[in-house]
Amino acid sequence: MANLWTGYVWPTAITVAEIIAIIVPVLVGVAYLTYAERKVIGAMQLRKGPNVIGPFGLFQPLADGAKLFFKETIFPNHASRGVFLVAPALTFFLAMVAWAVVPFDEGWVLANINVGVLYLFAISSLGVYGIIMAGWASNSKYGFLGAMRSAAQMVSYEVSIGFVMIAVLLCVGSLNLTDIVHAQEKGVWFIIPHLPLFIIFFISGLAETNRSPFDLPEGESELVAGYMVEYSSMPFAMFFLGEYANMILMSATITTLFLGGWLSPLPFAPFIWVPGVIWFVLKVCFLLFGFLWVRATMPRYRYDQLMRLGWKVFLPFSLVWLVLTAGVLEFGGLLPK
């Protein structure tokens, strides 16, 4: 019995506790990211934003969640019910499991695997399936067209994201996300030598998460609400949560690859000590503010402009930069051993 407890039960309990310790803050962050978005965009447009429910409107996300929870789930007459319900659950699930390999601080990672970057890329690619399933199962031409748009958009910009990741990995020599952070600890953050790649990754992240100015699947004048047009109540909320969780995940990925992860931006001020996880959260919040700022500022692209930017600008540029990076590392004797 003692061997069973120490060998299986106790490690399993610790793992479950670690999973809860990651998922709960992410869900709270998702809820209050919606509040922050409405406040930030309201301030930029000289409006107040949420200010009624609770002090400064802080209980507005809770009220919105309760409203969606108690609303009736409506199924279209000709929808495939099983796939119709699985699609939002899959989208939400994939947005959560990707956090398993993200290092929040030194040793603060659920699964410190050697292929963490590959795992993240694979999980983000699987997100396309939830969107296509939603559009197809709705048995609605509007939903299906929105799903096709979104799938084409995500696949197009994942190519550029992949080449950007490869250029960073050449400088590290490892697919482990913790090793990527440690590589920036020895020199400079990768945003300095790879600033164009950082810009490409950030813009591609907007397209990957269907955020403005690339929120074409939700073009109100064309497709009503894209692939989720037939969804209501909690299935709609799961798509909503998945989108905002992916925004936070994309910001965490950019932080790890380009902004030094949990490393302090004040290396020459050792008397100012702040836990690494705090620096990590602050960097993620800074990038999320960029997501919100872009939405309040930029007009929506046309679909041909979106595809031209991805295939004719970002893809060739990231390829050329990848070759240049490999050449500089090879001939400069800087390849990681």
User: Looking at residue 74, what is its pLDDT?
Assistant: 84
User: Looking at residue 12, what is its pLDDT?
Assistant: 79
Q: Biggest alpha carbon distance in the chain?
A: 65
Q: Regarding predicted confidence, which is higher, 186 or 272?
A: 186
Q: Confidence band (pLDDT; 50, 70, 90) for 2? A: low
Of 6-10, 52-56, 140-144, give the lowest mean pLDDT range. Answer: 6-10
Q: What percent of the chain has pLDDT over 90?
A: 29
What is the mean pLDDT of the segment spanning 102-120?
88
Q: With 60 as the cut, is the pLDDT of residue 269 above it?
A: no
- Residues 237-260 have pLDDT tens digits of 888 888 899 999 999 999 999 998
- Residues 49-103 have pLDDT tens digits of 888 888 888 898 999 888 888 888 888 888 888 888 899 889 889 988 999 999 9
- Residues 37-49 have pLDDT tens digits of 999 999 998 888 8
Contact 257, 178 (CB under 8 A): no
Single pTM value for the model: 0.91
